[in-house]
Amino acid sequence: MSTTFLPCGDYHQNYAQEHAWWQTKFIKGKMILLFLFLFVFIPVTANSYWISVCNMVGYTILGALGVQLLIGYCGQLTLGHGAFIAVGAYASTLLILEFPWPQFMLDWGIAYPVSVIIAGFVAGIWSVLFGLPSARVKGFYLILTTMAAQFITVDFLLTQYVSQIGGRGQAFSLPLGTIKIGPWVIDSDLKVYYLMLILVIFFCIVMANLIRSRVGRAWVAIRDNDISAEVMGINVVKYKLLAFFVAGFIAGITGAFWISNLAAISPEHFPWFLSLSLVGVILIGGVSSIHGTIFGAIFMVVVMELLQLAVMPMADTYPKLLMDFLFIKEAAFGLAICLFIMFEPNGIAYRWQQIKNYFNLWPFSY
Amino acid sequence: MQQGHKTGESNTIQGMEISKALTIPKLFLEQAGKFGKDSIAMREKEFGIWRPITWHDYLENVKFLALGLISIGLKDHDKVCMIGTNRPEGLWAEMATMCARGIGVWLFQECLIEEVKYIVDHSDARFIFCESQEEVDKAISIINECPKLEKIIWDDPKGMRHYQEDCLISFKEVQRLGKELNQKHPHLFEETIFKGHGDETALLLYTSGTTALPKGALLSHYNMLTMGQNLMAVDPCLETDDYVSYLPFAWIGEQMMVISCGLQIGFTLNFPESSETSQANIREIGPHVMFAPPRMYEQMTRTVQVKYLDSTWIKRKCYELAAKIGYHMANLKFKKKPIPFQWRFLQALAYLMVQKKLKDHLGLSRVRNAYTGGAAMGPDHFRFFHAMGVNLKQIYGQTEIGGISVIHRSGDIKFDTVGVSIPKTEVKITDEGEIISKSPSVFQGYYKNPEATEKTLIDGWLYSGDRGFIDDDGHLVVFDRSKDVMILKDGKPFAPQYLETRLKFSPYVKDSWAIGDKQDYLTTVICIDYSVVGKWADEKKLNYTSYPELSQKPEVYDLVEKQIRQANKDLPEPARVRKFINLYKELDADDDELTRTRKLRRAFVAKRYDQIIEALYSDADVVHIETTISYEDGRKSDIKVDLHIRKIVD
């Protein structure tokens, strides 16, 4: 992209070169190192605790990508994204557990991958349903309608009706070995980690390319000014609903992915706080930035884990700390958002850009 | 991300014999045939990308344009003027003119109407190529006073829709006529080219003329080609090289690189998006060879100095350290001393730490040879670039000798000389101290000016009018124009440009003018750099509304005084500046104070600012000036200013 800092003597003779993602040897080298780090270094060195932390980061990234799309790129405020993750998770679980799959499909491990894709579509359509009001309302009102999505879906439909399917009571249990892709049985944190990496990389690529396509430009136009976007000939309602669909689709996949990490799912996995924290992730990471989504997710998960590690030793002296840890966590989350809005309103991604500029402009300041 | 594969030997020109029969068009035909569709002749930046043009496209365009010129009536040895910025179409027009056996005449794009009129009329041009509406307007306004001018060929259609004049014809239309002619006579283009001979005039270039009206120097094909060959015998260029063409084609230096060298080797020419973006575009391309007048390098130095001042503490310290190492290395190099191991190590460190990025910012990462010529460059600037690791070389020459005659050799650079003569070129000093030279590239004479030709060209020797001497190492030292050399109070000669270039090393000083011939002491008139000093004043919270006001601030005088004191330190006592004045405006070529290549026209400014000179050599502290200045858009305004005179006492 044109925002890349190109060294002297690196120029484009056609637009394909200009649009290439990794344009310089330096960037290519950097990316290879990153992949080595993710695929080799972490699995080899990290223990299962840190692997599970990484899985949490990946789950947060996937969840926040949809929020980033809606808020960061299309300007549609949402506070109910957790609902669509829940829809994806439940759709996939129900399909695996209740759908009369032919035996060979179960044996060959086709059921889960198919259910993931269907879950994506179901969540996408569910999201469009709650995106419909966006044709008329904006801002706070839209926040309320998306919050309604959360409460109607999770607290009402899932809890009251869907959970009753099959008469299992509140939770659907997913015994080890249920989740498999082909012959690959996903039964350990490390396997979940690899699945997560593949999904995160895939959706980051999809998002990054969507954003610079015609669709992405339409979304950005709607975000910046919906009236001028309409004047420019963009079908605002269509593109808003498309944004809701894509965001919902990613959320559905996210939910369907997450069941691979769970032994059982219940509506408590998808509280309203999840929706809220995903918005927090993009605020901290940086709105309108895919980098920001990743940075925000890492910050949220890792900082909270570190906080937990810091609190643990003190628990011997102040046992109350452990009891109230959930509240401390939420307070810390609130504090982090306040501090970011005050001191780094453009998020970590902006700081990252500044650091890169610092070295790109070396030995000058501009 | 270069495309196109230029294969083959690195330097074909070495073995090539330039006979009198060879002409630029013949060479062009041969090269275009050799490189064909696989290799890129030029690129132009348009809409954000460097649009490549292959040699095949280049040939096609030139062919139809040349035939088009023939079909609108171009006869052998007719002059064709060209005015515009550097773009492929401009070069095609020039090449087409030569292919059609015409003579190309380039004008500086920013020439005022009177200058355009003078050159068009004096050169007897029948056609003029204008890039866009602006140039077309200039041409239309003079066409009635230049009876020989028949057609105005325009290229850029923007704003041209409502022009109905009969004399106008578009570039595309000329090419269409050429295509028609080509269908009727398919071999006419080649036949016309093969009629040419190397001794025929190829270009008529008007010299900038520091003293009088411009003189038109006639250069033959043979002159141009031998010049390029002899230059490249010293510093070979490669086919794979990139060169950025952004300096006016009317300047011999650009013709020398683009036509004399570029065509012979076939390196890729790159044309910037517009003149404003040229610096950024140079950075993108990262040329391997550069030739620019000192002002470009001075501008780069100033950019670095100003950015350095604005940088953060850590970055500044790193820069200072790297500069210290670089300067030490440059000094060792100039003195041709062996470089000790520890300094090699430090140099590698400085390169990694600062110089690599610094060169990257300036677009000098890939430069193998950078040349400066056309005016004097100060030793400080010279050392600055060598300290950065840029192989900057001084070139000396005149339009009349095809561009250059003397050049530094790699590894044998002395910053107070201009180097050693190129092959097949003799340089001598007459008994009067004038530099004279002789080579196959010495021009044919001035157009319609036999007296001047007689004075300049004696027995095949070109009399330059410059004063200089040859030092112990055989390097030529150019002192100054003979008539500009000053006599100090101790009777010694002194070159004012030496002082001026030293003062210009300060980022705050844009131009300076040293005065003091046969006087008791030296004085200078300083033009501050408005943007740099303006920024400095902003930081100091000094209020100002205009250049005249800013230039007269006592704080600005203090600042300039500091710079002059710095320069004074290295000068012998009689050559030190004792008084200076800040001028209320920048010197400008549109006011005839500078030539188009930004050389100071001393006689003219001395006459124009006689009040100032008078005041500088009297006891006055203030000189009152009332004058009219004309702006670029033609507005005029009266100016009344009191210029302060500052004395510098040791």
Return the pLDDT at A3. 57
Is the pLDDT at B4 greater than 60? The verdict is no
Query: What percent of chain A clears pLDDT 90, i.e. is strictly above it?
Result: 66
Test the A interface: residue of B49, B57, B271 with most A CBs within 10 Å: B49
Q: Give the fold, CATH level 3, of B291-482.
A: Rossmann fold (3.40.50)
A335 neighbors A314 (Cβ within 8 angstroms): no
B45 neighbors B272 (Cβ within 8 angstroms): yes
Is the pLDDT at B9 greater than 80? The verdict is no
Stretch A258-275: mean pLDDT: 92
Is the pLDDT at B618 greater than 70? The verdict is yes
Judging contacts by C-beta atoms under 8 Å, the chain A residues touching residue B319 are 363
Return the pLDDT at B8. 36
Judging contacts by C-beta atoms under 8 Å, the chain A residues touching residue B360 are 7-8
Q: Cα dist. B559→A72, B537, B551 in Å?
A: 50, 10, 11
Domains B22-196+246-278 and B485-647 in one fold: no
Between CA A112 and CA B122 the distance in angstroms is 87
Query: For the domain bounded by B485-647, which CATH number is listed?
Result: 3.30.300.30
Pair of tokens at residue B168? 């106008």
A343 interfaces chain B, CB cutoff of 8 Å: no
Is the pLDDT at B6 greater than 50? The verdict is no
Shortest CA distance from A16: residue in chain B: B49
Contact across the interface for A13 and B283, Cβ inside 8 Å? no
Contact across the interface for A364 and B363, Cβ inside 8 Å? no
- Nearest chain A Cα distance for residue B486, angstroms: 41
- The model's confidence at residue A18, banded by pLDDT at 50, 70 and 90, is confident
Return the pLDDT at A222. 95
Contact across the interface for A18 and B308, Cβ inside 8 Å? no
For chain B, give the mean pLDDT: 90
Q: Looking up tokens 């706070």, which residue turns up?
A: A140
Is the pLDDT at B551 greater than 80? The verdict is yes
Return the pLDDT at B46. 92
- The model's confidence at residue A304, banded by pLDDT at 50, 70 and 90, is confident
A3 interfaces chain B, CB cutoff of 8 Å: no
Q: Does the reported pTM lie above 0.90?
A: no
Q: Residues in chain B whose beta carbon is closer than 8 A to a beta carbon of chain A?
A: 1, 3, 43, 48-52, 242, 283-286, 307-308, 310-312, 315-316, 318-319, 322, 354, 357-361, 363-366
B121 neighbors B282 (Cβ within 8 angstroms): no
Contact across the interface for B285 and A15, Cβ inside 8 Å? no
Instruction: Considering only the beta carbons, identify the residue of A7, A12, A17 that sits closest to B360.
Output: A7
Q: Give the fold, CATH level 3, of B22-196+246-278.
A: Rossmann fold (3.40.50)
Q: Which residues contact B41 (CB under 8 A, 6 or more apart)?
A: B32, B35, B53, B54, B55, B57, B58, B266, B268, B269
Is the pLDDT at A98 greater than 70? The verdict is yes
- What single-letter DSSP state applies at residue A363? T
A11 interfaces chain B, CB cutoff of 8 Å: yes
A-B contacts at Cβ under 8 angstroms: 73
Stretch B233-249: mean pLDDT: 92
Q: Which helix (H) or strand (E) holds B476?
A: strand B476-481
Q: Which residues contact B377 (CB under 8 A, 6 or more apart)?
A: B294, B297, B298, B394, B501
Q: What are the tens digits of pLDDT across the range B30-65?
A: 999 999 999 999 999 999 899 999 999 999 999 999
- The model's confidence at residue B153, banded by pLDDT at 50, 70 and 90, is very high
Is the pLDDT at B10 greater than 60? The verdict is no
Judging contacts by C-beta atoms under 8 Å, the chain B residues touching residue A357 are none
Is the pLDDT at B560 greater than 50? The verdict is yes
Is the pLDDT at B647 greater than 60? The verdict is yes
Is the pLDDT at B14 greater than 60? The verdict is no
The ipTM, to two decimals, is 0.82
Domain boundaries, chain B: 22-196+246-278, 291-482, 485-647
Judging contacts by C-beta atoms under 8 Å, the chain A residues touching residue B310 are 364-366
Is the pLDDT at B27 greater than 70? The verdict is yes
- Nearest chain A Cα distance for residue B604, angstroms: 40
Chain-centre distance of CA B641, in angstroms?
34
What are the beta bridge partners of residue B217?
A: B205, B446
Stretch B7-31: mean pLDDT: 72
- The model's confidence at residue B415, banded by pLDDT at 50, 70 and 90, is confident
Could you please report the per-residue DSSP string of B58-89?
HHHHHHHHHHHHHHTT--TT-EEEEES-S-HH
- The model's confidence at residue B211, banded by pLDDT at 50, 70 and 90, is low
Contact across the interface for A9 and B286, Cβ inside 8 Å? yes
Is the pLDDT at B176 greater than 50? The verdict is yes
- The model's confidence at residue B599, banded by pLDDT at 50, 70 and 90, is confident
Contact across the interface for B311 and A11, Cβ inside 8 Å? no
Shortest CA distance from B280: residue in chain A: A8
- Nearest chain B Cα distance for residue A289, angstroms: 24
B373 neighbors B383 (Cβ within 8 angstroms): no
Kindly give the pairing relationship between strand B493-494 and strand B509-515.
Answer: unpaired
Is the pLDDT at B3 greater than 50? The verdict is no
Instruction: Considering only the beta carbons, identify the residue of A7, A13, A362 that sits closest to B3.
Output: A13
Pair of tokens at residue A314? 């003190």
Contact across the interface for A362 and B315, Cβ inside 8 Å? yes
- The model's confidence at residue A23, banded by pLDDT at 50, 70 and 90, is confident
Stretch B316-343: mean pLDDT: 93
Q: What are the tens digits of pLDDT across the range A313-334?
A: 887 888 777 778 888 888 888 8
- The model's confidence at residue A2, banded by pLDDT at 50, 70 and 90, is very low
- Nearest chain A Cα distance for residue B316, angstroms: 7
Kindly give the pairing relationship between strand B445-446 and strand B636-647.
Answer: unpaired
Q: What are the tens digits of pLDDT across the range B279-323?
A: 899 999 999 999 998 989 999 999 999 999 989 999 999 999 999
Between CA A249 and CA A206 the distance in angstroms is 12
Instruction: Considering only the beta carbons, identify the residue of A12, A18, A364 that sits closest to B307.
Output: A364
Return the pLDDT at B209. 64
Is the pLDDT at A40 greater than 60? The verdict is yes
**Which of B244, B277, B280 has the alpha carbon at shortest distance from B262?**
B244
* N- to C-terminal Cα separation, chain A: 20
Q: Cα dist. B2→A8, A36, B47, B564 in Å?
A: 13, 30, 18, 47
Contact across the interface for B285 and A364, Cβ inside 8 Å? no
- Nearest chain A Cα distance for residue B325, angstroms: 15
Q: What are the tens digits of pLDDT across the range A199-235?
A: 999 999 999 999 999 999 999 999 999 999 999 999 9
For chain A, give the mean pLDDT: 91
Q: What are the tens digits of pLDDT across the range B154-175?
A: 999 999 999 999 999 999 999 9
Between CA B273 and CA B49 the distance in angstroms is 9
Q: Is B145 buried (19+), middle (13-18) or exposed (0-12) by CB count in 10 A? A: exposed
Return the pLDDT at A317. 81
Q: Which residues contact A156 (CB under 8 A, 6 or more apart)?
A: none
Q: CB neighbours (10 Å) of residue A361?
A: 16
B27 neighbors B12 (Cβ within 8 angstroms): no
Judging contacts by C-beta atoms under 8 Å, the chain B residues touching residue A10 are 1, 284, 286
Q: Looking up tokens 């070979």, which residue turns up?
A: B236
Q: Looking up tokens 């002749």, which residue turns up?
A: B41
Between CA A341 and CA A304 the distance in angstroms is 18
Contact across the interface for A12 and B48, Cβ inside 8 Å? yes
Stretch B483-498: mean pLDDT: 87
Instruction: Considering only the beta carbons, identify the residue of B49, B310, B358 that sits closest to A13.
Output: B49
